[in-house]
Amino acid sequence: MRLVFADTFYWVALINPQDDWHKRVIQVSQSLTQTQLITTEEILGEVLTFYSKSGYQSRQKTVTFVRNILNHYQVQVIEQSHQSFYLGFALYQQRLDKGYSLTDCISMNAMKRLEIREILSHDKHFTQEGFTILLP
């Protein structure tokens, strides 16, 4: 089965029909047959944070969406740990010349560990580490 990493960008666009990328994300999602999506708890935290000031209905929709991700058979959510933080922090320190966020670094480490090459993102930082962006 094909493994594809899902970044914050993907989930945010998927949740909001008014997002500029929503239609494109839906199209790409429909092409991902026989695919297991991988994401992290850190990414889901970013999604919740992104919508935290969007009002009650948006927050409620996001909570339901994240709960569905956590229970979806085609999505594996990697747990946060001290080690994931520490290794992400180490990569962050090694790439001070880049604009990587700590969550990007944690994601990159998870992708390398699981030998995932493709990511549902629009973040060009991932190409700098040799990953293929599926939402160029």
Residues 6+ apart with CB under 8 A from 37: 4, 5, 6, 74, 75, 76, 120
> Which domains occur in the chain, in start order?
8-129 (3.40.50.1010)
How many helices (H) and strands (E) are present in the chain, helices listed first?
Answer: 7, 5
Extended strands (E) in 7-64 = 35-40
Q: Please, which pLDDT band fits residue 39 given cuts at 50, 70 and 90?
A: very high
The whole-number pLDDT of residue 136 equals: 83
Count other C-beta atoms under 10 Å from residue 52's C-beta.
Answer: 11
- Mean pLDDT of the 122-135 span: 96
Question: How does pLDDT run across 52-69, given as a tens digit for each residue?
Answer: 999 999 999 999 999 999
The whole-number pLDDT of residue 130 equals: 97
Buried b (16+ CB within 10 A) or exposed e, 55-75: eeeeeeebeebbeebeeeeee
Read out DSSP for 59-102? Answer: HHHHHHHHHHHHH-TTEEEEPP-HHHHHHHHHHHHHTTTS---H
d(CA 128, CA 31): 25
Tell me phi and psi for residue 118, to 5 degrees: -110, 145
- Mean pLDDT of the 100-119 span: 98
pTM value is: 0.95
For 76, the token pair is 């594996």
